Structure 1
Amino acid sequence: MRLITVATCNLNQWALDFKGNLERIIESIKIAKSKGAIYRLGPELEIPGYGCEDHFYEQDTMLHSWQSLMALLKDPELTRDIIVDVGMPVLHKNVRYNCRVILSDQRIVMICPKKALAMDGNYRENRWFTPWLKSRTTEIFPLPKVIADIVGQTTCVIGDAIIATRDTAIANETCEELFLPNSPHIEMGLDGVEMIANGSGSHHQLRKLKQRVDLITSATSKSGGIYLYANQQGCDGGRLYFDGCCMIMVNGECVAQGSQFSLVDVEVITATIDLDEVRSARASFMSRCAQATLTKEFPRVLCDQHLTTYKGSASQPIPIKYITPAEEIGFGPACWLWDYLRRSGLGGYFLPLSGGADSAATAAIVAIMCQLVVLDAGKGNRQVIADAQRIAGAGPDYIPTNAKEFASRIFYTAYLGTKNSSDETRKRAAEIAADVGAVHKEVDIEEVTTAFGSMFGQVSKNQPRFKVHGGSNRENLALQNVQARSRMVASYHLASLLLWDHGREGSLLVLGSANCDESLRGYMTKYDCSSADINPIGGISKNDLRIFIEWASRERNIPSIAQVLTATPTAELEPVTKEYVQSDEADMGMTYDELSVFGKLRKIHKCGPVSMYERLVSEWSHLEPPKVAEKVKRFFYYYSINRHKMTTITPSYHAEAYSPDDNRYDHRPFLYNTKWDTQFALIDELVQRWKSNQLKENSDSDSDPSHTNLTPPVMPLGSSTGTLIDRHL
């Protein structure tokens, strides 16, 4: 057996935190060495942090990155008898590249620029970096003087090449490159590379892990080989949470897997692999061997090290651990909230707790955050304990041992009631707060909203009335909005003063609780209590929140939140009468299930009004085309008139692939022609054509009793029989 021990890691890096990032990198190297690893792989852009965004334009970012690299090279022990693979930006010939820098024995072996940049969804890498498009080409990179002075090395190789040690070949593949149809690992593997190292910055999204695992499995199962995957874990300064789950795979089987959600800042996993197994698998695959002989050779960069040993035993395959979407919603946003809180310097969270499903789910996520803190504190996690002491305003002897007790120090909630609030929601809010351990207040804001009515009386003799009292829709909406906006003002006022009232320094971060579907539909008041500092559920659909609430009530010891599952979703902004109780879905004119479908078709499937109508006519067999047309037009009308609200939406945890978050994930205008003249006219034409066909079929049916009345399908755009030309436009 020729055994090789390798290490990869999850690191909780923070954009521009060069000191903290360097400390975590150094700790990971030391852990890897202590476990006998001869290769250590870290996440993408781990030195400056992945989320620097436009700070990548600054020469300061480049300078501090080189300073960090200098610190790694200056210590003779860090890179001795180990290959250290780190990520950082590099400027070469006045072009900025996203690079892997390979270190060994106080030397830079080579610099590997990323060949394919992530440019969709949440990512805009081509805004700051240029891909290395010169395949199988290397150049000479002159090293900065500060590096040369330390290591006596003036240049190194930069480009698309393979690292050749005395006994194996290693190559890099960075994040996005794994997702390409023709990934670099394919031809590099055919050219003899036995280990691919992928330093990644891959964010959490519900149900995404399986896609990542499938790609890594495929990368090594078709052609054999070793695949190391490193990832960032944590919130590095934005709405994304990087979910870790570093792993090591060999010949299509996992031999080591890191945690997906964790409060641990540095997690290193290792595996010992038998290179003979890789070579045997490849040499026995004769079709692969034939392709390998035709593969054009990559340049080799020598790393004069012997990596293998003949002593020990190889790591055995393990099953991949997956968790349910409900657990993802529980743990992902909870870890994100902890990172955000401990890095904000503030003293806790404030949540307007309405007694409804969304604020209940948000409270449950904070409760899970507290449970994770207590769990890690119990394991002796010094960073978590220190952060908990500082945030809670406690002394050095305090160690959180009870989640509810810890929540009582850092989590405050308030029921902000008006005369339209019900006893049921007030009671539910109090019970949920008690279950999670929050300090709960009940605040009557009726006087505040009444004061706005008095203020309007100074400029008008007219007094607005609710719809149930004979008022117009405009009056009804204005009276609802003033209540919602008053709650936002009250929330920030309470968040500023509650810690002071309890004799503590600092203030609280305000949590929002508008879900993804409501944001998409615009079913919120601009600058109401959905306007907050951050929103942990803003990228999660109502349907997924229901699944999460059921799980959290059962599995996370928060039984009271289960009550919201049977309650009718309502904003409670209008008076209740015998004939009328406000309902969210009735107000919106569409169900949450329908909203989820609209959102996925709009964002993921790139549907405009007409193509959405055509798909839904086929998929919603329970509705006739005129009803489908009505719903599609209603959705796009309200989506477009409310799109401006997304320009002020609270920064939300990204979890759903159809998130409408403005300018980050969803680049669309906010000023629309809300009539959608051309689009809606075509939908009307298609509906009229369907009606004409129905009349014809009914007529045929009357004359021929054997005729079966079938609804003709509306052909999709671009089909051979349903193109725009066929519609005679």
Structure 2
Amino acid sequence: MSPLLLAAATLNQTPLDWEGNLNNIIQAISLAKEKKVDLLCFPELCITGYGSEDLFLSYWYPKKALQSLQTILPHTSGITVFVGLPIRINTKVYNCMAILENEEILGFVPKQFLAIDGVHYEARWFTPWKSGEEIILECFDTKYPFGDIIFEKNGHKYGFEICEDAWRSTDRPGYRLKKRGVDIIFNPSASHFAMGKSEQREILVKESSTDLGVAYLYVNLLGNESGRMIFDGEILFSENGHCLVKNKLLSYQDYQLVTVAYPVQQPQPLKLNHSLDTKNEEFMAASTLALFDYLRKSRSRGFVLSLSGGADSSTIAILVADMVKRGVEELGTALFLKKINRASDIAPESSIPEIIGKIFTTAYQGTKNSSEATLNSAHNLAKSLGATFHHWTIDEEVDSYTKKIETALGRKLTWEQDDIVLQNIQARTRSPIIWMLANIKNHLLLSTSNRSEGDLGYATMDGDTSGSISPIAAVSKDFILQWLRWAEKEKGYHGLQSVNALQPTAELRPQEQSQTDEEDLMPYPIISAIEKLAIRDRRSPMDVYLILKEEISLEPSLLKAYIAKFFRLWSINQWKRERLAVSFHLDEFNVDPKTWYRFPVLSGGYREELALMETLEE
């Protein structure tokens, strides 16, 4: 047996960008050939992009993917390359890896297990392949082996587990590959980002190398491919239970190539560390990359944000500024500006704050209920980042709307009788003018809703939910509050000092009422505790109460009241979650029905379940 130089290449692809996707693949192959790579593995569905959704169901889309495969073939002389694409056979579509070598196709390996939970709906598009089955596929006027097959290079046998294949505790393909004597298993994946998931993958890859007795090479897609789901571009290599290779995640590059010599002569296991700081850093890195990709792929010219001076909008402001900082540091100013389509009007010698000022515009939209503290907080933060800052009031517009309704009703609106109405009109009045600014600049409007607000509907439709994208809709408010303190202390964003000194408030009621979010709702940690059980774990109200009664020090009657409020508000506000702006999947779960948790818009609202909970003795 001769030694092999293995390689994995992560790619930042985009559905329907045939030319861009091919260019990334071909450039990575060229680099691999320069490095004398023998076997190069690309991620799952890398020719089309994983996020192609119902395009996979068409007849023309898989056919065009095969045409791209033909374009790749001439670049495979002297190297073996694995690329992912959909293959249609009659009425069924399969998620496949094509094995290419010396300008020839050696065969196709289809995925055996489909991801059908959480953010994944693969069974809508693909058919799982049965283990042990092999057929002949005819394409390009030639016949090729297709199915559960293995290959050999320089005396080393190798096979594939495609993403979900490896996560099956029983009947995973790897066990059968072990019996067939493979030496190397490649895992080409399209595994969505979630905070803490990298650690799970490390465990999977390390344990797989031990349990299966193989060298195990894993490669994931990279970037915000199609709008919602983020891929971190992780590459892992493990042998004998030790992780020997791990790349830098969430890169701004179009592709990354990592090589490893096999067999490994002097293995040096990596020291891998995971902590809350790691989770905070992951959130920041994933969100900034998602914003970068969304900006350039939507061909927009920047971002607009209604900056209230509070936690949510300040979080987004930091993320936009950090997106610029990371992009310039990794790509260089000239390439960064080229990628975001601003090379023609922003000088390459511009500083990071100067670039931020050109692509990021903020506005504080005050009312008579707003405080000097939040105005100063917003202004100081924008100034510290270099963002363009505007300040105007909307009292005139709010009064105009209010007087028209009062005339129509023949009565005055009062806080005692019309509290929600008078709050909502302020939030909604902010929307048209900030949209106007975004439209004029051809910028994306950033919505500021978080997951805790999504749980309870604590957001005004067509008000603070207005936006092109909602970057933090998938993370809880208590996570955001601790992250802001971390960003100030650990990342040096000292403009957050005023933000972190404020108590979260909508500032929609008169100041003398001292409105706070937690008084309107309940303590944010309680919301998070309930939502994890009710939404993540899908527990009933009774289960939630019995579990939290043992975990949280609260009067049973108060805990019941919080749980009842959560389920009641959750049920009546599903229509709001259906209308959320495009959000990024960032945590282990989210409440966006388009990506994770589906719930009926109309329901009985847990009436019987909550009544049963109330019967429990305290």
Q: Report the TM range for the smaller structure's normalisation.
A: over 0.9
1:218-250, Cα deviation, whole Å (9 max, x unpaired): 000234321111111111112111111112222
Matches of 1:223 and 1:171 in 2, distance apart?
A: 12
Larger radius of gyration: 1
Contact conserved, 1:609 with 1:632, CA < 8 A, in 2? Answer: yes
Match of 1:139 in 2: 135
Match of 1:286 in 2: none
Contact conserved, 1:117 with 1:131, CA < 8 A, in 2? Answer: yes
Contact conserved, 1:273 with 1:314, CA < 8 A, in 2? Answer: no
2:388 is equivalent to residue 399 of structure 1: no
Tell me how far 1:516 sits from its aligned partner: 0.9
Contact conserved, 2:118 with 2:589, CA < 8 A, in 1? Answer: no
Match of 1:451 in 2: 400
CA RMSD for the aligned pairs?
Answer: 1.7
1:487 corresponds to which letter in structure 2?
A: R
1:677-719, Cα deviation, whole Å (9 max, x unpaired): 32122112213xx4xxxxxxxxxxxxxxxxxxxxxxxxxxxxx
Matches of 1:244 and 1:320 in 2, distance apart?
A: 17
Contact conserved, 2:174 with 2:212, CA < 8 A, in 1? Answer: no
Match of 2:597 in 1: 666
Tell me how far 1:316 sits from its aligned partner: 4.0
Q: 1:163 aligns with which of 151, 154, 159?
A: 151
Residue 524 of structure 1: SS of its match in structure 2?
Answer: coil
Residue 616 of structure 2: SS of its match in structure 1?
Answer: helix
Tell me how far 1:543 sits from its aligned partner: 2.1
The equivalences for 1:338-417 within 5 A come to: 338-378=292-332, 383-388=335-340, 390-391=341-342, 393-394=344-345, 398-399=347-348, 402-417=351-366
2:257 is equivalent to residue 318 of structure 1: no
Matches of 2:110 and 2:3 in 1, distance apart?
A: 29
Match of 2:282 in 1: 328
Contact conserved, 2:452 with 2:477, CA < 8 A, in 1? Answer: yes
Contact conserved, 1:404 with 1:436, CA < 8 A, in 2? Answer: yes
Matches of 1:216 and 1:518 in 2, distance apart?
A: 37
Match of 1:567 in 2: 502
Matches of 1:197 and 1:358 in 2, distance apart?
A: 41
Matches of 1:371 and 1:216 in 2, distance apart?
A: 32
Matches of 1:42 and 1:315 in 2, distance apart?
A: 24
Match of 1:49 in 2: 49
Match of 1:624 in 2: 555
Tell me how far 1:321 sits from its aligned partner: 6.3
2:384 is equivalent to residue 435 of structure 1: yes
Match of 1:176 in 2: 164
Q: 1:681 aligns with which of 572, 590, 611?
A: 611
2:436 is equivalent to residue 493 of structure 1: yes
Tell me how far 1:40 sits from its aligned partner: 0.5
Contact conserved, 2:228 with 2:584, CA < 8 A, in 1? Answer: yes
Matches of 2:160 and 2:108 in 1, distance apart?
A: 10
Residue 554 of structure 1: SS of its match in structure 2?
Answer: helix
Match of 1:121 in 2: 118
Matches of 2:209 and 2:525 in 1, distance apart?
A: 39
Residue 218 of structure 2: SS of its match in structure 1?
Answer: strand
* Alignment CA distance shift 1:377-1:244 (3 Å): closer
Matches of 2:497 and 2:42 in 1, distance apart?
A: 41
Contact conserved, 1:327 with 1:548, CA < 8 A, in 2? Answer: no
Match of 1:531 in 2: 466
Match of 1:17 in 2: 17
Contact conserved, 2:284 with 2:319, CA < 8 A, in 1? Answer: yes
Match of 1:585 in 2: 518
2:505 is equivalent to residue 551 of structure 1: no
Tell me how far 1:385 sits from its aligned partner: 4.0
Tell me how far 1:662 sits from its aligned partner: 1.8
* Alignment CA distance shift 1:321-1:111 (3 Å): farther
1:351-407, Cα deviation, whole Å (9 max, x unpaired): 0000001111110000110101221243x8x7534124x236526xx3265221110
Tell me how far 1:166 sits from its aligned partner: 4.5
Contact conserved, 1:263 with 1:384, CA < 8 A, in 2? Answer: no
Residue 112 of structure 2: SS of its match in structure 1?
Answer: coil
Matches of 1:242 and 1:401 in 2, distance apart?
A: 30
Matches of 2:325 and 2:352 in 1, distance apart?
A: 5
Contact conserved, 2:191 with 2:220, CA < 8 A, in 1? Answer: yes
Match of 1:266 in 2: 255
Match of 2:587 in 1: 656
Tell me how far 1:138 sits from its aligned partner: 0.6
The equivalences for 1:236-251 within 5 A come to: 236-251=225-240
2:44 is equivalent to residue 101 of structure 1: no
Matches of 2:309 and 2:268 in 1, distance apart?
A: 50
Match of 1:726 in 2: none
Tell me how far 1:436 sits from its aligned partner: 1.2
Matches of 2:495 and 2:349 in 1, distance apart?
A: 23
2:196 is equivalent to residue 207 of structure 1: yes
Contact conserved, 1:330 with 1:548, CA < 8 A, in 2? Answer: no
Scaled by the length of structure 2, the TM-score of the pair is 0.96
Matches of 2:92 and 2:589 in 1, distance apart?
A: 34
Aligned residues: 615
Matches of 2:20 and 2:76 in 1, distance apart?
A: 19
1:586 corresponds to which letter in structure 2?
A: E
1:317-338, Cα deviation, whole Å (9 max, x unpaired): 4334657111112111101000
* Alignment CA distance shift 1:400-1:569 (3 Å): farther
Contact conserved, 1:348 with 1:392, CA < 8 A, in 2? Answer: no
Tell me how far 1:656 sits from its aligned partner: 2.1
Matches of 1:377 and 1:4 in 2, distance apart?
A: 31
Match of 1:89 in 2: 86
Q: Which moved more, 1:265-274 or 1:215-224?
A: 215-224
Match of 1:295 in 2: none
Scaled by the length of structure 1, the TM-score of the pair is 0.82
* Alignment CA distance shift 1:383-1:479 (3 Å): same
Contact conserved, 1:273 with 1:315, CA < 8 A, in 2? Answer: no
* Alignment CA distance shift 1:166-1:207 (3 Å): closer
